[in-house]
Amino acid sequence: MTKSLDALRHSCSHVMADAVKRLYPEVKLGIGPAIENGFYYDFDKKDGFTPEDLSLIEKEMIRIIREDGKFEREEITKKEALKLFEKELYKTELINNLDSPTVSIYRHGKFVDLCKGPHLESTGQIRAFKLLSIAGAYWHGIETNPMLQRIYGTCFESDKELKEYLRVREEAQKRDHRKLGKELDLFSIHEEVGPGLVFYHPKGALLRTLIEDYVKQEHLRRGYEIVMGPHILKSDIWVTSGHYEYYKENMYIFKVEGEEYAIKPMNCPAHMLIYKSKIRSYRDLPIRYFELGNVHRREKSGVLHGLLRVRGFTQDDAHIFCLPSQVADEIKGVIDFVMDTMKVFGFTDYKIDLSTRPPQFIGSADMWDRATGALKEALDSKGMTYEINEGEGAFYGPKIDIMVKDALDRPWQCATIQCDFALPERFNLAYISDDGKKERPVMLHRVILGSVERFIGMLIEHYVGAFPVWLSPVQTVVIPITDRSHDYAEKIHLDLQNQNIRSTLDKRNEKLQYKIRELELQKIPYMLIVGDKEKEAGTVSLRARKEGNLGALSLEDFLARIKKEISVKQ
């Protein structure tokens, strides 16, 4: 977001807060920052807001914009600020928590707010805005604090940009994986057992199995070995890895017979212990361990979102132990793996970040410099465009993050490659070099899909639930027109299953057009309709999801068609 767009949206949030105070003087103000796609403001309103309120607030905002009030910045003392905001309990809390003896405020018209800026020159410069939604938000994001009402909005420099954003947003709502997941009977989440825990229904579990089977085969083909670690490990291991110090608040920790354990949030300690289970030679390296590892993280309920943010998920996780001289080639191999895999799943556009040393880290600065240099060398050698994300690396190493863009050009975090010199030292990993000395391997942490749950959610939204044939849980449905053709339909169905085509048989006593409409909503790739005519001719009447009615053809011709689509991953 550019500085000018940030100032525009920040100004619009102030105008919204002014409108709310004019309409509902009893409301208490929280905070109202600009965010990536717009802005929001948090309010404490006793009876909350309704969608009808948004329309009234928008009209009041238009009046404020027409007044063309000038945004004016003032620097006042904390004492003056506390007096000015004495009726605003959330503002006074913010002021009391400031270290500075002075406070920055902004005025326009009669409205004043605690703010650092930046802002436009006047309210009249706001042209294109829209209030979008209402949500609950705990003050400071802490669940024990009061629940406030958050109004989201967006603002652009032109009506054209606003209309395009709203069009894409509407399309995104149609693609919402939570809505489609329910309609397509793929998964559910049950609050009575706990938020962020996914139940896969038969079709969703099959979709996940198809993805995981492909991923396993590709790892084996590329020289990885499959390993499996336990779901719980003693806390001592997490102390050694650094997770206990840097990640404890996100871990599920409990005691058994007086000893403390943690459910794993990561797979790396188990893989290092497997590596360490015997003496390794330089001739053994690189060693590539892969695991579809189930992990659990104690995410706050407020950030959970369908499959995209959950508490229990599966990572296609791997750790590569290699010689320092092998690091660059291994990183390049992982990048190729990512690109090849994403292309198979229909993604060809990317955004790449290189995240560097954070304020809190383990290991030495020299280790970090070498690790960052190795990642940068690999990206540069492949001619890849990337951005430096200063201070956003993991606590144990810098990382490459590869975000893929979907059909709406939205970036999704998938692959991560982390170069780690620190954990091999903490776990005292070693290999015997060619001169007989013990040396330390370098460890690369990497995922290709990332979270399998998030990847499935992303696929649902990218394809609007209409998965390519090779990924469709149900590839064909055979529909007999009358009872007389049931036996022929059953034969076709069994022949398809024997050819490893995922087929179902719809013998319900419903009208044909009703069945077709229902199956179209279920995004079924192919319907094979059979009646007396088809039974006599030994054919099927084919209806395709993309092309509609394709007429009669033999089962052999249909099998050739669908097998070709499956083989080329269409």
Could you give the CA distance from residue 54 to residue 52 in angstroms, rounded to a whole number?
A: 5
Run means of pLDDT, 10 residues per run, the chain, 570 residues: 83 97 96 92 94 95 96 94 94 92 94 92 95 92 88 95 93 94 96 93 97 97 97 95 90 95 95 97 97 94 88 96 93 94 93 90 83 90 90 86 89 90 92 95 95 96 96 97 94 96 94 94 96 94 93 95 91
Could you give the CA distance from residue 313 to residue 198 in angstroms, rounded to a whole number?
A: 8
Q: How far are the Cα atoms of 484, 541, 549 from residue 535, in angstroms, in the given order?
A: 9, 10, 18
Question: DSSP label at 152?
Answer: E
Of 58, 62, 63, 53, the C-alpha closest to 24 is 53
Select which of 399, 454, 462, 543 is catalytic: 399
Select which of 319, 376, 523, 543 is catalytic: 319
Could you give the CA distance from residue 321 to residue 327 in angstroms, rounded to a whole number?
A: 9
Strands 476-480 and 503-505: what pairing?
parallel
Residue intervals in the chain for CATH 3.30.980.10: 3-166
pLDDT attached to residue 361: 83
pLDDT attached to residue 400: 93
The SS3 assignment for 307 reads coil
Residue that is written with structure tokens 């240099």 in the block: 373
- CB 116 within 8 Å of CB 103: no
Strands 438-439 and 431-432: what pairing?
antiparallel
Could you give the CA distance from residue 491 to residue 480 in angstroms, rounded to a whole number?
A: 11
- CB 241 within 8 Å of CB 395: no
Could you give the CA distance from residue 260 to residue 246 in angstroms, rounded to a whole number?
A: 17
pLDDT attached to residue 1: 52
36-53 core/surface letters (b: 16 or more CB in 10 A; e: else): eebbbbbbbeeeebeeeb
Taking the domain 182-463, which CATH number applies?
3.30.930.10
User: CATH says 469-567 is which class?
Assistant: alpha beta
Count CB neighbours of 312 within 10 A: 16
Could you give the CA distance from residue 178 to residue 507 in angstroms, rounded to a whole number?
A: 29
Q: First vs last Cα of the chain: how many Å apart?
A: 36
Q: Is 497 a catalytic residue?
A: no
Burial of 87 (0-12, 13-18, 19+ CB in 10 A): exposed
Q: What is the 3-state secondary structure (H, E, C) of 486-505?
A: HHHHHHHHHHHHHCCCCEEE
Residue intervals in the chain for CATH 3.30.930.10: 182-463
Residue intervals in the chain for CATH 3.40.50.800: 469-567
Count CB neighbours of 178 within 10 A: 17
pLDDT attached to residue 488: 95
Single-letter code of the amino acid located at 353: D
Q: Is 399 a catalytic residue?
A: yes
Count Cα atoms within 13 angstroms, Cβ side, for 438.
Answer: 7
pLDDT attached to residue 511: 93
Select which of 18, 53, 316, 317 is catalytic: 317
Select which of 268, 322, 414, 419 is catalytic: 268
- CB 444 within 8 Å of CB 334: yes
Select which of 21, 203, 280, 297 is catalytic: 297
Q: Is 317 a catalytic residue?
A: yes
Q: What CATH homologous superfamily does 3-166 map to? A: Threonyl-trna Synthetase; Chain A, domain 2 (3.30.980.10)
Select which of 315, 418, 475, 522 is catalytic: 315
Select which of 445, 446, 523, 535 is catalytic: 445
pLDDT attached to residue 422: 86
Crossing angle (nearest 10°) for helices 51-67 and 3-23: 110
The encoded tokens of residue 105 equal 């405020």
